[in-house]
Amino acid sequence: MRNRGKLTLLLLLALFAALPAAAQPSCRLPQQVPVQACDRHEAPRGRSGDFDYYLLSFSWSPAFCATAAGRRSPLQCRDNRFGWVLHGLWPQYDASRGVTPSWPQYCSPVAPVPEAVLRRHLCATPDPRLLQCEWAKHGSCAGFGSAAAYFDAMAAAAARLRVPDPPAEGRGSATAMTAALVAANPGLQPAMLQVLRRDGRIRKIRVCLDSGLRDFVACKGTGSR
C-alpha cells in the first residue's frame, strides 16, 4: 500500500508539473539565422502523401546538452535552457506493408525553409539545420504545400500534448515516463508512444498520431532511427 501511494503521488506531481510539449513562447535567438539547404545525402524513398500515420518526436534537451554535440550547439545549450524540444513530425508506414525501414524520406526536392519560418519555430526546435533537414527528409513526404504549413501542423500537434519532465532528472525508467505521459493525456495508451533511453538517460519521446493529426494511434511500424 505504501508503494502504491508513493506511485500515485509521483503521478499527481507529474500531472501538476506537466506543460504543453515544447511550450517555450520565447527564447534568445541570434540576429541572423542562416538559410542553407539540408546537407544530408540519403536515398529517396516513397511518395508524398502515401503513408499510414505520424510519429511526433521530442528530445530531452539537457541530455543532448551533456554530450559533445550539445556543447557545440550554442543556441540550444549555451544561450538558452530548454526542457523538451520538438524534434520532428515523421510520416510512417504500417508494419503490414512489409516495408523496411518503415518510413518514406526525401520524397521530392524542396526549397530551403525561409528565415521567417525558421525564426517562428526555433524556440521549439532550436537548430536551423535540423529544421531544414526535417523539411527535406520528412516534410517532403507529408503532403503539405509548404514548409510553413508543415511546421505549423507540427507545432499544433505538439500543443495538444502535455509532457512532464522525465523522472530523476532524466535518469528515471521508461516505465515511469510512460505512466506519467498516459496519466497526463486522456486517450493516450502505452502502445501509442515510445520512450527511448541511452547511456542511462531518457533521451526521446515519440507519440503516434493518425494521418490527419486528430487522434492517438498504436505505433505499428518497424525499424528505428
Instruction: Establish whether 134 is a catalytic residue.
Output: yes
CATH number at residue 162: 3.90.730.10
Band of pLDDT at residue 100, cut at 50, 70 and 90: confident
At 168, is the secondary structure helix, strand, or coil? helix
Residue of 41, 42, 115, 138 marked catalytic: 138
Is residue 26 in some structural domain? Answer: no
> Active site includes 42?
no
The answer to whether residue 6 is domain-embedded is no
| pLDDT at res. 33 | 92
Question: In 157-214, which ranges are E strands?
Answer: 162-163, 193-198, 201-210
Residue 84 belongs to some domain of the structure: yes
Q: Which domain holds residue 136?
A: 44-210
With respect to residue 130, please indicate whether it lies within any of the assigned structural domains: yes
Count of domains for the chain = 1
The closest alpha carbon to 166, from 184, 153, 188, belongs to 184
pLDDT of residue 93: 96
Is residue 98 a part of any domain in this protein? Answer: yes
Express each pLDDT in 52-82 by its tens digit. Answer: 999 999 999 999 998 999 888 999 999 999 9
Selected catalytic residue, list 41, 42, 121, 134: 134
pLDDT by residue (tens digit) across 170-187? 888 999 999 999 999 999
Alpha-carbon distance of 196 to 206, in angstroms, equals 8
From 41, 42, 87, 115, the catalytic residue: 87
Q: What is the pLDDT of residues 23-42, one digit of tens each?
A: 566 798 888 898 999 999 89
Asked if 121 is an active-site residue, the reply is no
For residue 55, CA distances in Å to 141, 211, 221 come to 13, 10, 10
25 in any annotated domain = no
Looking at residue 224, its pLDDT comes to 52
pTM of this prediction exceeds 0.95: no
